[in-house]
Structure 1
């Protein structure tokens, strides 16, 4: 199967299930030695109403889940699932619930620098937030992540203080909503086959292989 398969991942960088999904997709692709895959990242905001400066995460999460054991159970489950994928979730280290619009703008710009750069940036932003408690709404954090991902930092430093591409990102999110995407992660294979949620590695690998084999046979449905 020599043709390259495209996968667009609709996600938010403050979604722990999206971090799990990123790792599982990576592992699925690594297991498919004969399938070439290009992964691109598309924006989604779990809560676009968070102000630009962010909110206190503890208070924010308590308002959503209450003061009981529910949030502790969710975190414990994610820590356990993350360990399997090589993720060291540290929820106690996270102090700020950020607005993710700026992060998605930088991810968009990373895409123009190449697929590998964009994937590298997304992985770094997930790790910065969930494993190190960094505020991914902070311009300094975003610029440093861009630098580590191999981007031209001068471009990010110039564009980030402006509104460049803010409306383009919002428009992409609106498009995802019109497509019926209400939760993330969502994996769009070849732009038309959707796999919803942080499915396990084997499920993702099986879906990718099925679409790749259908594409090799010329049997993919025409895009609507």
Structure 2
């Protein structure tokens, strides 16, 4: 008798994130390490979901230095906020060049771009997210600048003229806003937030080991309670 092939277990991870959040960049690197650790055990489908830490920022942006000092109570407060981020970034081989960032801009258009890249598949979406994080935190570029967004889109495999045309209109603006509202209704108040199989949430830039352990536990639970999972 021929046995049927064993089905590879799988998970879905929705990462609620904002590209102006340095901890989200750190969380991305830690997730990549976790995914590498579990790659031989099960499949994981990753989707990036939008969130805005400050939806009131103008598209053209505002002076980053003044913005951060107002938020954290002066230059000393801003530097104290940066210190743990720099340290965590160094552990993940991220060089945060905060001094290069001149402008903090509204990220809604960046999230639209990430959504369009997602239509090409998870690898393209990941490439767009990576390009935006690097452009902002390492190269100090303005995420409200259409040229920066178009460049990130091209990196992800989108056509430059298509991205330019879409950015000039309102394509998917309402859809992205609706996703952000949905995240808030689900109780997301901080990012990154890793939502596994739309049932379990891990908030913050969790260590790779914690992410891998959580994934393994959920896969084991699905295997031991397939009826409950299917009926949930």
Q: Scaled by the length of structure 2, what TM-score is found? A: 0.92
Specify the alignment match of 1:35 in structure 2: 42
Mapping for residues 63-78 of structure 1, pairs under 5 Å: 63-78=70-85
SS in 1 for 2:168: coil
Specify the alignment match of 1:134 in structure 2: 141
Specify the alignment match of 1:26 in structure 2: 32
1:67 Cα offset (Å)? 1.5
Query: Is 1:13 paired with 2:19?
Result: yes
Query: Is 1:144 paired with 2:157?
Result: no
1:161 Cα offset (Å)? 0.6
Query: Is 1:98 paired with 2:105?
Result: yes
CA distance in 2, matches of 1:25, 1:201: 6
CA distance in 2, matches of 1:22, 1:38: 14
Q: CA RMSD in A?
A: 1.5
Structure 2 unaligned regions, length at least 5: 1-6
CA distance in 1, matches of 2:57, 2:48: 22
CA distance in 2, matches of 1:214, 1:154: 46
Asked if 2 retains the 8 angstrom alpha-carbon contact of 1:192 and 1:223, the reply is no
Specify the alignment match of 2:188 in structure 1: 181
1:221 Cα offset (Å)? 4.0
Q: Scaled by the length of structure 1, what TM-score is found? A: 0.95
CA distance in 2, matches of 1:46, 1:220: 36
CA distance in 1, matches of 2:75, 2:163: 41
Cα deviation digits, residues 27-67 of structure 1 (max 9, x gap) = 11011131211110000000000111110100111111122
1:152 Cα offset (Å)? 2.8
1:149 Cα offset (Å)? 1.6
1:222 Cα offset (Å)? 5.6
CA distance in 2, matches of 1:223, 1:66: 50
Structure 1 unaligned regions, length at least 5: none
SS in 2 for 1:89: coil
Name the stretch that deviates more: 74-83 or 44-53: 74-83
Specify the alignment match of 1:3 in structure 2: 9
CA distance in 2, matches of 1:103, 1:220: 38
* Count, aligned residues: 224
